[in-house]
């Protein structure tokens, strides 16, 4: 039994048998057709299919690659494109990409850039099919949240984290002694990676706290509330350990600064179910597998133990997410609409320049994508089908 099957069986064990038909019809009832998937109207979301140079000021780009929320294409003249490179110039051909800093200097708004204290990475690629004689330089811009461990707080699709600061609150107390890399660049990369994880874990404490409030509003059981609070406590422990490792590699104590919390509006059953499926059933399930695989490839015994412990906790959180989704489906009048929505959700892609240091417990982007793709097919899809009482024969899970 490989790690995919092990995790799937573990989550199945967490789900009570009575919840495994949460998406199905009551015994003896006539099957009801599912509501059609909601269709977003891209025209209502983005009236402009294209955006010209003079329209950049004040335009807010979407930090998502969801095709239902497309960003407009960018159409520029050769001279305009030259103003958006780093450094600016007078190109004789359209630049292969543009400078995000230059776009912001022209007044464009790119929510969640790393320089702003969050974790959205934007990429700009040529889109020559839309080029015209007047605007031969055509581009597409995509914003993708870079996932870390945990289940961070979000505000309008943007991950919200506390800025890092010199630690005055004992978030980085040394409790372990991992191997200290001789290579300064490796130390810097590890410090940056663990700091990002620490900020996301710290943010997850706030998110789980808000989930508790939402569940109370929906009338959840004491067991579900208690386990969600315990998950928040796990995230505090994870944040402490990640800040400790970031401080170890950075050779200075690091911790979170005060966090600017966005206002919270109680989520409906459908809203909580969709977020639970994406952030918990998908991302924490995949996060558990990433931590376990990272532990297996890690050569530092201290890091290996930390990653293995994290994998166990994340698998428990994934099981909690599946239980929460099952409970919502069982108790919501909007079950058919919720089910139709989550069945349209694809596997989120990941982008960025991930650190590729497997011997230090950090898998590169290619390995992460491969792992996510296999886990999506062999863990997430079968669990969703089983939760809904659907046959597994048609799923390629072997």
The pair of structure tokens assigned to 289 is: 């597998």
Per-residue pLDDT tens for 155-206? 877 788 998 998 877 898 899 999 999 999 999 999 989 998 999 999 999 9
CA distance 320 to 314: 10
CA distance 214 to 149: 22
CA distance 7 to 47: 44
Beta-strand relationship, 73-76 and 50-52: parallel
Cα–Cα separations (whole angstroms), residue 370 to 156, 375, 376, 381: 28, 9, 10, 16
Q: Is the whole-model pTM more than 0.75?
A: no
What does the H/E/C string look like for the chain?
CCHHHHHHHHHHHHCCHHHCECCCCCCCCCCCCCCCCCCCCHHHHCCCCEEEHHHCCCCECCCCCCCCCCCCEEEECHHHHHHCCCCCCCCCCCCCCCCHHHHHHCCCECCCEHHHCCCEEEEEEECHHHCCCCCCEEEEEEEEECCCCCCCCEECCEECCCCEEECCCCCCCCCCCCCCCCCHHHHHHHHHHHHHHHHHHHHHHHHHHHHHHHHHHHCCCHHHHHHHHHHHHHHHHHHHHHHHHHHHHHCCCEEECCCCCCCCCCCCHHHHHHHHHHHHHHHHHHHHHHHHHHHHHCCCHHHHHHHHHHHHHHHHHHHHHHHHHHHHHHHCCCHHHHHHHHCCCCCCCCCCCCCCEHHHCECCHHHHHHHHHHHHHHHHHHHHHHHECCCCCCCCCC
- Measured N-to-C along each axis, helices 3-14 and 283-297 cross at an angle, to the nearest 10 degrees, of 140
Per-residue pLDDT tens for 344-397? 899 887 765 568 999 999 999 889 999 999 999 999 999 988 877 654 444 333
The pair of structure tokens assigned to 46 is: 């983005």
The pair of structure tokens assigned to 27 is: 């015994």
Residue that is written with structure tokens 């390629």 in the block: 396
Q: Are 323 and 224 in contact (CB under 8 A)?
A: yes
CA distance 244 to 173: 6
Residue 140's DSSP bridge partners are 125
Residue that is written with structure tokens 């290579």 in the block: 183
Q: For the sheet containing 120-126, what is the strand order?
A: 50-52, 73-76, 137-145, 120-126
Q: What are phi and psi of 75, to 5 degrees?
A: -120, 120
CA distance 395 to 397: 6
Cα-based angle 235, 239, 242 (whole degrees, multiple of 5):
135
pLDDT tens digit at each of 398 positions of the chain: 788 888 888 887 766 543 444 554 433 333 343 333 333 333 333 444 788 999 999 888 766 544 444 678 899 999 999 999 989 999 999 999 999 889 989 988 876 554 434 456 677 889 888 899 999 999 988 766 555 566 889 887 778 899 899 887 789 889 999 999 999 999 999 998 999 899 999 999 999 999 999 999 999 999 999 999 999 999 999 999 999 999 999 999 999 999 989 999 999 999 999 999 999 999 999 999 999 999 999 999 999 999 999 999 999 999 999 999 999 999 999 888 999 899 889 988 776 556 899 999 999 988 999 999 999 999 999 998 887 765 444 433 33
Q: What are phi and psi of 222, to 5 degrees?
A: -60, -35
């Amino acid at each position: 039994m490989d790690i995919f099957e092990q995790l799937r069986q573990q989550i199945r064990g967490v789900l009570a048998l009575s919840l495994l038909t949460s998406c199905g019809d009551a015994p003896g009832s006539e099957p009801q057709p599912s509501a059609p998937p909601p269709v977003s109207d891209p025209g209502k979301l983005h009236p402009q299919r294209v955006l010209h140079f003079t329209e950049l000021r004040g335009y807010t780009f979407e930090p998502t690659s969801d095709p239902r929320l497309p960003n407009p294409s960018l159409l520029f003249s050769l001279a305009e494109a030259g103003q958006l490179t780093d450094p600016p110039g007078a190109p004789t051909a359209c630049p292969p990409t543009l400078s995000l800093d230059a776009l912001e200097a022209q007044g464009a708004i790119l929510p969640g850039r790393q320089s702003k204290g969050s974790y959205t990475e934007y990429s700009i690629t040529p889109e020559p099919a839309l080029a015209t004689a007047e605007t031969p330089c055509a581009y597409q811009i995509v914003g993708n949240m870079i996932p870390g461990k945990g289940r961070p707080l979000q505000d309008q699709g943007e991950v919200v984290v506390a800025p890092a600061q010199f630690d005055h609150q004992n978030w980085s107390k040394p409790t372990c002694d991992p191997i200290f890399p001789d290579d300064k660049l490796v130390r810097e990369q590890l410090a940056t990676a663990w700091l990002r994880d620490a900020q996301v874990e710290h943010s997850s404490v706030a998110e789980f706290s808000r989930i508790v409030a939402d569940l109370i509003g929906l009338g959840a059981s004491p067991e579900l509330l208690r386990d969600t609070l315990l998950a928040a406590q796990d995230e505090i422990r994870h944040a402490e350990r990640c800040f400790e490792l970031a401080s170890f590699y950075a050779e200075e104590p690091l911790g979170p600064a005060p966090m600017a919390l966005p206002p919270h509006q109680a989520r409906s059953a459908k809203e909580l179910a969709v977020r639970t499926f994406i952030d918990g059933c998908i991302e924490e399930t995949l996060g558990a597998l990433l931590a376990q695989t990272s532990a297996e490839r890690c050569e530092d015994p201290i890091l290996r133990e930390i990653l293995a412990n994290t994998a166990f906790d994340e698998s428990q959180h994934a099981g909690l997410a599946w239980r929460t989704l099952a409970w919502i489906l069982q108790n919501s009048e909007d079950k058919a609409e919720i089910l139709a929505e989550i069945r349209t959700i694809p596997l989120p892609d990941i982008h960025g320049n991930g650190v590729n240091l497997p011997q230090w417990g950090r898998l590169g982007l290619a390995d992460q994508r491969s792992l996510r793709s296999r886990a999506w097919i062999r863990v997430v899809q079968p669990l969703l089908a089983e939760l809904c009482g659907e046959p597994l024969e048609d799923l390629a899970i072997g």
